[in-house]
Amino acid sequence: MSVRILALVGSLRSGSHNRQLAEAAVKLAPAGTEVALYEGLAEIPFYNEDIDVEGSVPAAAAKLRETAAGADALLLFTPEYNGTIPAVLKNAIDWLSRPFGAGAIGGKPVVVVGTAFGQYGGVWAQDEARKAVGIAGGKVIEDIKLSIPGSVTRFAETHPADDAEVTEQLTDVISRLQILLDRPTAA
């Protein structure tokens, strides 16, 4: 069975440590699993019911929905901005939650991980992302977590893919998600 995991990154910065973490996840995906890094969150307009009309949904939002609908699970990478989830990630969750009751993440397994400068690795933002995803209809996998503290210093000269501890932890996250998806009762 082939498993497709869609990775969404809550930072738009090109040198984002969370983006680097997502890039590492793409490389670390075991055989039979594809982690696909979504590009284009910056192009999606802020969610507005006035523009979320069948037949005229903005192309960038429609593409996100279509891509998420084709995935078996989502893996969200979030930094922590002012103690909470970044707007770009929250906006993606909002678009994916609609139409109400039939959103692209409805019932889909979702894991939230990330890295941040603070000593707790962005756990507040991760908790907020889990809350938003759960309310939006996603199946939050609470027991698969990864919070990497001190990102600014830890990854100042090292890509997360070159950090043995991080690659081990990230590989474990992806493997546990793959095992969950391989079970017949997973979704």
Domains of the chain in start order, with CATH, are 3-182 (3.40.50.360)
Residues 95, 31: Cα–Cα separation, whole Å: 31
**Coil, strand, or helix at residue 84?**
strand
pLDDT given for residue 101 in this prediction: 86
CB 125 within 8 A of CB 78: yes
What confidence score (pLDDT) does residue 47 get? 98
Residue 100: predicted pLDDT? 86
Q: Are 109 and 146 in contact (CB under 8 A)?
A: no
Residue numbers of the chain with a pLDDT score lower than 70:
1, 184-187
C-alpha distances in Å from residue 119, one per residue of 73, 123, 148, 151: 29, 10, 8, 9
pTM of the model: 0.95
- Centre a 10 Å sphere on the Cβ of residue 101 and count the other Cβ atoms it contains: 8
Q: How far apart are CA 146 and CA 164, in angstroms?
A: 15
